[in-house]
């Protein structure tokens, strides 16, 4: 059995050239999708994110200024899978929490509600099918929320786009195949830099060492900046 691939049977996923109408094996609703497992099982994004609201308990009680550390606590929750669209919300939520704890001006309750609504519109597989990883996009949502950017804004419009671009560039520099953990960490590290340089908010960071390699069938090993092989004297983050 594979590690954390199909949520129904554990087998590998396959990606189709065109959308097909599929019935979710959990909620039994039908959706167009390019993704299913080799046995034909399909789980929709909403069912994949079941239990996501548990992250808001973390966000509203955590006092850390380190968004990667907050993200680690979210990823340790039972609902979170190795890969999945939950990361498209968790990255922005972790950043909003650390930003508030570091002195950034934001109504955290309202901001978390907003990141949930925005992030849930980025589907699983966006990294491959859109050319834009949802974790990277989540950093742009974060900057948009804390700066009050809208489609009619000037400076904040630019800043939100620049944030997404920097996160996606970092993800592209490492390359594929996808890893939601790696891409989330890469995105958060870029957002920490952006907040310090452009928003004047100094969040904290730590040396990240991945604890999920054994669960990732497509782990790129030493090519990943967070591989334990590249940090032999450090403990894993989770």
What pLDDT, on the 0 to 100 scale, is given for residue 231?
87
Specify the 3-state DSSP secondary structure of 175: coil
Q: What is the structure's pLDDT at 5?
A: 83
Distances (CA, A) of 100 to 62, 96, 195: 10, 6, 12
- Pairwise CA distance, residues 7 & 75, whole Å: 16
Contact 208/226 with Cβ under 8 angstroms? Answer: yes
pLDDT of residue 232: 78
Residues 112 and 79: beta-carbon distance below 8 Å: no
Work out the mean pLDDT of the chain and round it to a whole number: 94
- How many Cα neighbours within 13 Å face the side chain of 28? 0
> H/E element holding 165?
helix 155-174
Q: Give yes or no for residue 95 having a pLDDT over 70.
A: yes
- For the chain, what are the domain ranges? 13-46, 51-206
Percent of the chain with pLDDT over 70: 97
Residues 14-54: tens digit of each pLDDT: 999 899 999 999 999 999 999 999 999 999 999 999 999 99
User: Percentage of residues in the chain with pLDDT exceeding 90?
Assistant: 90
């Amino acid at each position: 059995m594979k590690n954390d691939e199909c949520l129904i049977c554990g087998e590998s996923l396959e990606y189709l050239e065109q959308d097909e109408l599929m019935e979710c094996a959990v909620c039994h609703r039908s959706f167009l999708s390019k993704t299913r497992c080799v046995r034909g099982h399909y789980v929709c994004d909403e069912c994949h994110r079941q239990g996501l609201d548990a992250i808001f308990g973390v966000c509203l009680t955590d006092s850390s200024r380190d968004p990667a550390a907050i993200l680690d606590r979210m990823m340790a929750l039972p609902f979170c899978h190795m890969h999945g669209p939950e990361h498209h919300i968790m990255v922005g939520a972790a950043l909003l929490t650390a930003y508030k704890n570091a002195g950034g001006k934001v109504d955290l309750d309202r901001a978390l509600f907003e990141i949930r609504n925005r992030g849930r519109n980025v589907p699983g597989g966006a990294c491959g099918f859109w050319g834009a990883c949802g974790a990277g996009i989540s950093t742009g949502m974060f900057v948009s929320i804390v700066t009050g950017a809208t489609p009619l804004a000037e400076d904040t419009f630019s800043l939100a786009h620049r944030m997404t671009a920097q996160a996606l560039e970092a993800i592209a520099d490492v390359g594929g195949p996808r890893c939601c953990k790696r891409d989330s960490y890469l995105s958060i590290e870029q957002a920490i830099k952006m907040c310090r340089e452009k928003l004047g908010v100094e969040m904290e960071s730590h040396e990240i060492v991945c604890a999920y390699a054994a669960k990732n069938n497509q782990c790129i090993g030493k090519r990943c900046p967070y591989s334990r092989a590249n940090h032999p004297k450090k403990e894993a983050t989770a």
